Amino acid sequence: MKRAVYLKFLLAYVIFGFFSFLLVATFSDLLIRERVTREEAASLYAEAGTISRSYATSLYTSESTVESVFVQLHSLSSYLSASIWIISPSGTVLLTSSELTDLSNPQVISGFTPQMSGTYYTTGDFFGQFSEQQLIVFSPITSGYKIQGYVVLMKPLSALSQRVNSYLTIVYISVALIFLLSFIILLFFTEVVYRPLQKIIYATEQYAEGNMHYELPVESDDEMGYLSATLGYMAGEIAKSEDVQKKFVANVSHDFRSPLTSIRGYLEAMLDGTIPPELHEKYLRIVLNETERLTKLTNSLLQLNNLNTAGIDVNKSIFDINPMIRETLETFEGTCLKKDILVDLILTGDEMFVEGDQDKLKQVLYNLIDNAIKFSNRGGTITVETNVKKNKLLVSVKDTGIGIPKESLSLIFDRFYKSDASRGKDKKGTGLGLAIVREIIRAHGENINVISTPDVGTEFIFTVAIVDDDEMETVVETEEVDEDEGKKENNSTDTKETTENHPAETKNTAADE
């Protein structure tokens, strides 16, 4: 595995160290040097002031002799490590701390001007008097309100460098310590980012190789931990969907194989004479039934596949749901009569305009009523009812049939699921009806709920979006609405007043999702 991130971070660390030193070396040197010079100048200036007020003035007032002042200045000079000169305003050197001047032949500094621009100190070779650069401070000697001369203190700049260097050493040591301490950041980076990242990369490699069950350890609760957890979750979901896929294929194969086996069995028996020709018709009908089952299975699978791949393949329109419900119920008239089942139809409003895919919602209703009839005993009652709640229409399909056991409630919307009781009752069922219902409702962004009590009955309720009045105005203008249809009515194959007593006790409920 490449260690590119680590190397980049290391490089950044080295660059950080290099530039820190560079910056400190240039800026600190400049700032410290300036600071030290200013401090030194200030202390020299104070000394110069003292000298000019005491020794030098006494020289002019003839209170002291040149010799005695020289002795004092000489010792002061070595104490301050600076040269002390007393100069007249015209530039004549009256006294130096290094040697006693010959006043009969005094040294004159040509071009001497004591003015300093703004500051009380300056640097230079003092009018060519020194070969080395000096820090120079002036202090005027006043007597009788007149400037009699100047005390000049000079210190070689090289003498200051020592102090500057000692300060710089402290700074460099501090920077080096900080640089070493910042190594801790590198260690943190390794522990907090790099190592978890390596684990994540290893895990993704495992997933890429198809090992979806590889467990990625989540050790921290920071972003890295979150990433690991999310990745682990994703892999888990993929693994699960692979399992579902496998189960699905197994179910499909099984559901195809059993009718095919029986068809084959009957046809072979007919051919080899095990089934006598006079019974052929009976068995051919069974074979036909089985082929019907296969057709239904194929159709349902195709429909589910379309719903799944297209996802939101709903062709929404605004339509009156009442006639649609009536039509759907009418298709079951014959079956209901045969099973002696009563149907109650309780519709809200003369018209009820909803928005959705009319064909698909009809399929939902069809599948629910089909189940209600299938899982009802003779003489049962089926109630189809609509109710308005806020901007939704609740469509309920209720039966007084065998009910669904509590443990099956959460599974009935799964593909191929059939409860044990229904297996005996409905051999033709594929277990795909409710899966299709769920996909359609989901694609509409609506909900479906089920309430059931075994041996008492079952109720499925799904929601549909009602079209509000504003939208309706435009629809009414363009569509022709059948005036006679759609009053709130009890209209069915066998009409009966709504006195349905639905199981109130121990109701089992399950919601879609």
Residues that bind ligand ATP (CB under 6 A): 300, 367, 371-372, 375, 399, 401-404, 412, 417-419, 422, 426, 429-435, 458
Give the nearest distance from C-beta 502 to Mg ion in angstroms: 21
Q: Which is nearer to Mg ion, 401 or 433 (CB)?
A: 433
Give, for 57, the enclosing helix (H) or strand (E): helix 57-60
Neighbours of 357 (CB within 10 A): 18
Give the nearest distance from C-beta 380 to ligand ATP in angstroms: 10
Tell me the residue nearest to ligand ATP as measured from the CB: 433
Contact between 401 and Mg ion per CB under 5 A: no
Q: Which is nearer to ligand ATP, 412 or 440 (CB)?
A: 412
Name which of residues 232 to 251 contact Mg ion (CB under 5 A).
none
Q: Which is nearer to ligand ATP, 154 or 409 (CB)?
A: 409
Give the nearest distance from C-beta 399 to ligand ATP in angstroms: 5
Give the nearest distance from C-beta 429 to Mg ion in angstroms: 6
Give the nearest distance from C-beta 244 to ligand ATP in angstroms: 16
Q: Which is nearer to Mg ion, 412 or 466 (CB)?
A: 412
Of the candidates 259, 356, 380, 433, which one interacts with Mg ion according to CB under 5 A?
Answer: 433
139 binds, among Mg ion, ligand ATP, none (CB under 5 to 8 A by kind): none
430 binds, among Mg ion, ligand ATP, none (CB under 5 to 8 A by kind): ligand ATP
- 433, 370 Cβ separation under 8 angstroms: yes
Using CA atoms, how far residue 352 sits from 288, 391, 446, in Å, is 41, 12, 17
Name which of residues 331 to 390 contact Mg ion (CB under 5 A).
371
- Segment contacting Mg ion (CB under 5 A): 24-32, 196-204, 427-435, 491-499? 427-435
Neighbours of 343 (CB within 10 A): 24
φ, ψ dihedrals at 107, nearest 5°: -80, 135
Q: Which is nearer to ligand ATP, 149 or 259 (CB)?
A: 259
- 135, 154 Cβ separation under 8 angstroms: yes
Instruction: Burial-class residue 509 by CB neighbours within 10 Å (0-12, 13-18, 19+).
Output: exposed
CA distance 185 to 171: 21
Q: Which is nearer to ligand ATP, 203 or 435 (CB)?
A: 435
Listing DSSP states for 375-392 in one string gives T--TT-EEEEEEEEETTE
28 binds, among ligand ATP, Mg ion, none (CB under 5 to 8 A by kind): none
CA distance 238 to 227: 16
φ, ψ dihedrals at 68, nearest 5°: -65, -40
Contact between 431 and Mg ion per CB under 5 A: no
CA distance 509 to 513: 12
232 binds, among Mg ion, ligand ATP, none (CB under 5 to 8 A by kind): none
3-state helix, strand and coil shares in percent for the chain, rounded to the nearest 5: 55, 15, 30
Give the nearest distance from C-beta 456 to ligand ATP in angstroms: 10
Q: How many residues sit close enough to Mg ion to count as binding (CB under 5 A)?
A: 2
- Please state the three-class secondary structure of 143-198 as a single string: ECCEEEEEEEEEEEHHHHHHHHHHHHHHHHHHHHHHHHHCHHHHHHHHHHHHHHHH
365 binds, among ligand ATP, Mg ion, none (CB under 5 to 8 A by kind): none
What does the binding site for Mg ion look like in residue numbers (CB under 5 A)?
Answer: 371, 433
